[in-house]
């Protein structure tokens, strides 16, 4: 890196120090020199030979790989009025030094300053470096700022995949699905961004309702990851996306089969089994859906926010006329999510600022990692849902990077005590606070959505209960007319030995769950319909 950086610095600062230039200029014979008249006052700064000499020494430090010393000196020089004409160059080199010190946030601000100076040469270079620094940080704001000013054709090939990927992300976020698909398709295979770009390209195609084309993209990604381990996240995400595409297409049986390929020991399995239950309901596979609910509603998943799963279970009971079980599920929904709705409502009404929401999220995150025993004011299942949101995860990741950069500065006392170090600490501190407030806003918005969603789900629960009462009335009418419904077990004609011989553990459920049994339940309930 030192060698390449040295060549870069020579190319950027190939000037002769002013002191030397003045010496050569004054070798003209004294007899031919004219007496200088007093110069008129000018608003332009007077060049200082000492500043030029210090700049030359700073560049020598940079060429020699002494990044900290060079950065400290360049920061001081960038503030001098007599070097105003060279400020874009100085700040650009300062940004390079800070990147070498892994202080990407502080470096990014130098590149932003260069861009604002609109220098004909260094602005383009600064935009390129800013995009790299912002990508490393995961800072969407800076990244968008850079991408809006970037000419991708001028970006070096080594960084072009990253730029196309980030352009695709921005377009996907802005719902420009055609543009996103096109940008993601330009990320080359072999790039570290390729797998995610391929996955996002499939998502963009689904948004355009090009389901078959999207399925082809996901199948290609699965083929590329065929040799990866079963729990490889790219592989699992592609499989889940394929299942969702089949569901969107209306191929319920195909979706059920695709969901079944998600491994149970992956974090996405819970989402998969819930969505698979919907596909089973749509294909009238009620017994299979009930088997899934036994896993979904086990104690192991009690901290998962899935209110819709309880209502879906109640609907399945409605289809098989199990009204007593249906009543129990509706009561469980009200018992579980009634207090949740109230706590979320009270928190939203009490706290208007963003910081309490960030603090609640931070508390929940530390508790999840086992680093804190502090009691959260909101239910764990609600905070787990908030922490699982993509924008919240990304913002916390950015905050972690800022904390790491701050730790690097604080661990280097000579640098921290310098004007450059104090400036870096100020930048990082401001960015941390702004990020915390942004996370607070995200969490608040998610809690607002939860509150609205629970209100709607309570209305749906009321409709489901109404249908349950109607069904119960019909049963009573038939009993009065002497037409009792005979309740037959779904698998009543199959002996216990059948299950034992086929590898099942057959015993009545008594309210206990074991982790290795999750996903292996087989519903043997009775149908109460004619």
- CA atoms within a 13 Å half-sphere pointing along the CA-CB vector of 221: 29
Does the predicted TM-score (pTM) go above 0.85? Answer: no
Tell me the DSSP string of 375-401.
PPSS-HHHHHHHHTSHHHHHHHHHHHH
Report whether 179 contacts 209 (CB < 8 A): no
Residue 31 has what pLDDT? Answer: 39
Please report which helix (H) or strand (E) contains residue 174, including its range. Answer: none
3-state secondary structure of 40: coil
Residue owning tokens 């889940």: 240
On the 0-12 / 13-18 / 19+ scale of CB atoms within 10 A, 302 is exposed
- Long-range CB pairs of 63-68 (<8 Å, 24+ gap) are 63/2, 63/5, 63/6, 63/9, 63/10, 64/2, 65/2, 65/5, 67/97, 67/98, 67/100, 67/101, 68/97, 68/101, 68/412, 68/414, 68/415
Kindly list the distances between the CA atom of residue 67 and the CA atoms of 8, 162, 418, 459, in Å, as whole numbers in the listed order: 14, 26, 14, 63
Residues 6 or more apart in contact with residue 228 via CB below 8 angstroms: 234, 235
Which token pair is 364? 């929940």
**Per-residue pLDDT at 335:** 94
Per-10-residue mean pLDDT for the chain, 530 residues long?
49 43 40 39 55 91 94 95 92 96 96 92 93 93 88 88 94 94 95 95 96 97 94 95 96 96 91 93 88 82 90 91 91 94 96 96 89 79 93 96 97 95 97 97 97 94 91 82 54 49 47 46 56
Looking at residue 516, the DSSP 8-state letter turns out to be G
pLDDT confidence of residue 289: 87
Q: What are phi and psi for residue 488, nearest 5 degrees?
A: -105, 140
Q: Is 170 exposed, middle or buried (0-12, 13-18, 19+ CB in 10 A)?
A: middle
3-state SS of 205-262? HHHCCCHHHHHHHHHHHHHHCCCCCCCCHHHHHHHHHHHHHHHHHCCHHHHHHHHHCC
Contacts of residue 219, Cβ cutoff 8 Å, sequence gap at least 6? 242
Amino acid 495: pLDDT? 52
CA distance 447 to 47: 58
């Amino acid at each position: 890196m030192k060698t390449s950086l040295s060549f870069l610095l020579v190319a950027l600062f190939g000037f002769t120090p002013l002191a030397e230039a003045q010496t050569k200029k004054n070798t003209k014979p004294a007899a031919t020199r004219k007496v200088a008249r007093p110069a008129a006052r000018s608003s332009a700064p007077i060049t200082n030979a000492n500043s030029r000499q210090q700049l030359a020494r700073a560049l020598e430090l940079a060429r020699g790989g002494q990044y900290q010393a060079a950065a400290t000196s360049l920061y001081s020089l960038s503030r001098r009025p007599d070097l105003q004409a060279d400020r874009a160059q100085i700040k650009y080199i300062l940004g390079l030094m800070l990147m070498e010190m892994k202080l990407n946030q502080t470096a990014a601000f130098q590149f932003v300053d260069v861009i604002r100076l609109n220098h004909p040469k260094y602005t383009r270079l600064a935009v390129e470096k800013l995009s790299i620094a912002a990508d490393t940080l995961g800072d969407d704001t800076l990244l968008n700022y850079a991408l809006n000013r970037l000419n991708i054709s001028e970006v070096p090939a080594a960084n072009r995949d990253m730029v196309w990927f980030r352009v695709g992300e921005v377009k996907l976020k802005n719902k420009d699905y055609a543009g996103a698909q096109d940008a993601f398709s330009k990320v080359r295979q072999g790039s570290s961004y390729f797998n995610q770009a391929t996955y996002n390209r499939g998502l963009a195609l689904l948004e355009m309702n090009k389901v078959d084309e999207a399925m082809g993209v996901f199948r290609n990604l699965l083929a590329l990851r065929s040799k990866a381990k079963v729990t490889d996240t790219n592989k699992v995400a592609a499989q889940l996306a394929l299942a969702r595409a089949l569901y969107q297409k209306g191929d319920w049986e195909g979706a059920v089969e695709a969901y079944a390929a998600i491994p149970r020991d992956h974090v996405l399995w819970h989402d998969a089994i819930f969505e698979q239950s919907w596909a089973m309901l749509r294909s009238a596979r009620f017994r299979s859906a009930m088997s899934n609910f036994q896993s979904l509603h086990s104690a192991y998943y009690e901290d998962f926010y899935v209110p819709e799963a309880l209502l879906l279970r109640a609907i399945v009971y409605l289809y098989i006329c199990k009204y007593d079980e249906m009543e129990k599920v509706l009561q469980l929904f009200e018992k579980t999510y009634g207090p949740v709705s109230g706590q979320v409502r009270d928190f939203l009404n009490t706290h208007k600022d963003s910081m309490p929401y960030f603090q609640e999220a931070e508390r929940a995150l530390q508790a999840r990692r086992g680093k804190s025993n502090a009691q959260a004011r909101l239910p764990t299942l609600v905070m787990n849902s908030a922490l699982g949101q993509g924008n919240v995860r990304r913002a916390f990741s950015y905050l972690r990077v800022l904390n790491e950069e701050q730790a690097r500065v604080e661990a280097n006392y000579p640098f921290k005590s310098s004007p450059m170090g104090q400036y870096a600490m100020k930048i990082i501190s401001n960015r941390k606070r702004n990020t915390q407030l942004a996370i607070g806003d995200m969490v608040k918005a998610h809690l607002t959505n939860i509150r609205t969603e629970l209100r709607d789900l309570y209305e749906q629960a009321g409709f489901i209960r109404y249908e349950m009462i109607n069904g119960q009335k019909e049963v009573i009418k038939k009993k009065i007319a002497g037409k009792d419904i005979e309740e037959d077990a779904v698998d009543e004609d199959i002996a216990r030995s059948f299950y034992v011989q086929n590898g099942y553990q057959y015993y009545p459920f008594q309210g206990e769950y074991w982790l290795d049994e999750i996903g292996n339940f087989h519903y043997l309930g009775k149908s109460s319909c004619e």
